[in-house]
Structure 1
Amino acid sequence: MLTVLADHLAKARAVLAPEVFDYYASGAGAETTRDEASAAWSRFRLRPWPLRDVASVDTSVELFGQHFATPVAVAPSAFHQLAADGAESASGSGAAAAGSLFVLSTRASVPVTDFGTHMQGLSAPWWFQVYVMQQRDVTLRIVEAAAAAGARALVLTGDTPYVGRKRKVAGVRIAVPDDEFLVNVRPYLPEDIRSDNAAARAAAAQDPSITLETIDWLSRATGLPVLVKGVLRGDAAQDCVDAGASGIVVSNHAGRQLDRAVPSAMALAEVAAAVGDQVPVLVDGGITSGLDVLVALALGARAVMVGRPVLWGLAAEGAAGVTSALDALTEDLRHNLALAGVTRADAVPPDLVVRA
């Protein structure tokens, strides 16, 4: 782990309420998947090229016609208000300052329309993560609002038919006030249950019956590219592409869903090989250095996402902490690209990396 990220983690542990820190840090079950995530990236070794001109190294990437200064993006994560005042708006500002992509969670602490206005003021592109809820009409209205507010893509989470149980929080999540939990749900509920908190929460629960048809439904509803997040198999990735997915995010939900699921680092090459050049592949899970990012790019990822390092940075230093975390990962990537003899983050050859 980079020093900056370790410092943020220590500060976050000190300033956050213990139950909030545990909620962010926890994994499902015995936390096997969570604990294996970071170490899995170090199972690969690099084969650098000597005597290459690396006086200039370009870390920028393009995704769906959008330019980013770095392939390190912010993964969707819930309830940033628990970490710091300013919530996702502060995190979005931090990401924009780093030239990074920000993905807003359905379970955000701020209204999607307000967040869109905030990011528009920064001229910063962002995407919206989708949980399909028990009431499909509610989901439809939320994604339509996100598209109208300026979201450039949708990220459909596919590994959460039910929220994974986490022993450290004695359930699936800590208690979140109704107004915060329902901030992006209540405005779109039927009037007869809008003021009934229990009924509103029930309507906001994930729909466990969704299938591949959801991809096309979201695409047609918004006209936006739809990426599927939570894919760990090559055949499943191809199924998603065949169903209309515009991208794949290799992810085990930070170890917060199915415990003992394989690390993303171990699944990435299979997924990238399965879909080839059909759609971009992104990956998250346990990335804590530029070396991890470099390995991911060599294994076939177009970009990576980080979740907890952003939350720790937000808790430690607000928007500036988010920026410094993302900048540190990008600068470490730039340094290691040069040492590997590679000049562009968007053109890392697969033969740079081998399994240890």
Structure 2
Amino acid sequence: MSFGEDGAPGEGAADALLTLEDVERAAAAVLPAGVRDFVAGGSGRERTLAANRAAFDRVFVRPRVLRDVSRCTTGSELLGRPVPMPVAPAPVAYQGLVHPDGELAAARAAKAAGVPFTVSTLSTVPVEEVIAVGGSVWFQLYWLREPGRALELARRAEDAGCEALMLTVDVPWMGRRLRDVRNEFTLPERVRAAHLGGGASAAHHRAAGASAVAVHTGQAFSPALTWSHVAELRAHTRLPLVLKGVLAPEDAVRAVESGVDAVVVSNHGGRQLDSALPGIDALPEVAEAVGGRCEVLVDGGVRCGTDVLKALALGADGVLVGRPPVWGLAAAGEDGVRRVLDVLAAELADALGLAGCATVADARRLRTVRIGAAAGEP
């Protein structure tokens, strides 16, 4: 892997990234320490952050043999639309922090891969500009304190041409992310939340002994989000509605009863409640509880195609990947994000065939075994 004098990746740099761990190392080599911590860090003592990865490592698959896998396909559906693989980038805030093209480069890469790209409420690029890239675009929504603003953003996304709304439900306020607190992390002036006015905010003013981003989101996000707001949003939009941040099967059932089209089993990448259950451990109970009445996606700790295979076997309809596309964006811009998605596609195809699965549907019939420590233990 080579980089130019300005820290930009050299020609062909993305091709040298063979695994998502390679991508992470390449990103770490070029990002300022504070930005690297902002992307990589978790909340509290980061037990959930570590447990997300460890939980996948405890899951083992019983492959099937003597199956015809000469025509193996990773094709599937997400929210009823065909996709070449059941994997998509998760919504991530402030992607302009890691690359000047930010969300535009990531959206172009998702389009090239044929998978949906989700624009965050805290995107550095307006949703209309991301839509102009083409491809399938979803919009991630935080419920805001200012009355009516969340519904206005939902309508704006729908009018722009987004194909789904994803309401994040596990952030009444930002979890205490100690790396950012120690760094007194502050957004640079050039990085703005395009959907929240686009001007300077508390996130741009250093706060002694605190994360300026956490201060800003505390001012902007509503801690009063309830099921009544989900019903209000459901009545407000014709788009498919996804709830992100569900870990309890009871909440998943309530989501189905509220007319939600999908849930994302997620602990926010270990960035909210420290010691929250890893998504892959919560997945089977959630999938059983909804019983096919809505789609079930999962995120948190996905780092290779075999992780996707495991998620499918445990009941997921699809997988969202958060940090790796951001690492790819930092390491090599649009080419880096493409590389992340290409690696996952190749690894998933390999995993399917070697597990005796010609299709994604076959993967959902695989049996798994957990070996090792209990959830949450290293």
TM-score with structure 1 setting the length: 0.91
Query: Which structure: greater helix fraction?
Result: 1
Query: Alpha-carbon deviation of 1:329?
Result: 0.9
Correspondence for 2:300? 285
Matching residue of 1:70: 85
Partner residue, 1:244: 259
After TM superposition, give the deviation of residue 273 of structure 1 in Å. Answer: 0.5
1:104 aligns with one of 102, 111, 119: 119
Structure 1: distance between partners of 2:230 and 2:62: 38
Which of 275, 286, 290 is residue 275 of structure 1 equivalent to? 290
1:219 CA drift (Å): 2.2
Q: Deviation of residue 29 (structure 1)? A: 0.2
CA, structure 1 residues 173+52, in 2 after alignment: closer, same or farther (shift >3 Å)? farther
Tell me the alpha carbon deviations over residues 149-186 of structure 1, each in whole angstroms, 9 at most, x when there is no partner: 11111111110001111111107983125674332121
1:32 aligns with 2:47: yes
Aligned length: 344
Structure 1 unpaired stretches of 5+: 188-194
| CA distance 1:107–1:16, change in 2 (3 Å) | same
Q: What is the identity, as a one-letter code, of the residue corresponding to 1:217?
A: E
- In the other structure, the counterpart of 1:21 is 36
Amino acid at match of 2:51: E
Task: Sort the Cα spacing of 1:115 and 1:35 in 2 relative to 1 into closer, same or farther, 3 A.
Answer: same
Between the aligned partners of 1:173 and 1:348, the Cα distance in structure 2 is 45
Which residue in the other structure is 1:147 paired with? 158
2:187 aligned to which of 176, 184, 188: 176
**DSSP 3-state at the match of 1:228:** strand
Q: Give the partner amino acid of 2:171.
A: T
Q: Is the 8 A contact 2:173 2:218 kept in 1?
A: no
Contact 2:230/2:258 (8 A) holds in 1:
yes
Q: Give the alignment partner of residue 10 of structure 1, picking from 17, 22, 25.
A: 25
> Deviating runs (4+, > 4 A) in structure 1?
195-199, 201-204
TM-score, normalised via structure 2 length: 0.86
What is the identity, as a one-letter code, of the residue corresponding to 1:209? A
Q: Secondary structure at the match of 1:170?
A: helix
The amino acid of 2:149's aligned partner reads: V
1:336 aligns with 2:351: yes
Aligned to 1:95: 110
CA contact (8 A) 2:21 2:303 kept: no
Q: 1:259 to 1:86 in 2, by over 3 A?
A: same
- Residue 190 (structure 1) aligns with: none
- Who is 1:235 aligned against? 250
Identical amino acids, percent of aligned pairs: 40
Q: Is the 8 A contact 2:174 2:217 kept in 1?
A: no
User: Are the counterparts in 1 of residues 142 and 150 from structure 2 also a CA contact under 8 Å?
Assistant: yes
Is 1:208 the counterpart of 2:223? The answer is yes
In the other structure, the counterpart of 1:166 is: 177
Alpha-carbon distance between aligned partners in 1 of 2:245 and 2:202, rounded to the nearest angstrom: 29
Q: Matches of 2:333 and 2:184 in 1, distance apart? A: 23
**Segment drifting more, 169-178 vs 26-35:** 169-178
Are the counterparts in 2 of residues 95 and 102 from structure 1 also a CA contact under 8 Å? yes
SS of aligned partner of 1:103 = strand
Cα RMSD over matched residues? 2.1
SS in 1 for 2:264: strand
Q: CA deviation at 1:240?
A: 1.4
- AA aligned to 2:146 is Q
Q: Name the structure 2 match of 1:44.
A: 59
Gaps of 5+ in 2: 1-16, 204-215, 372-378
Distance 1:178 1:130 in 2: 23
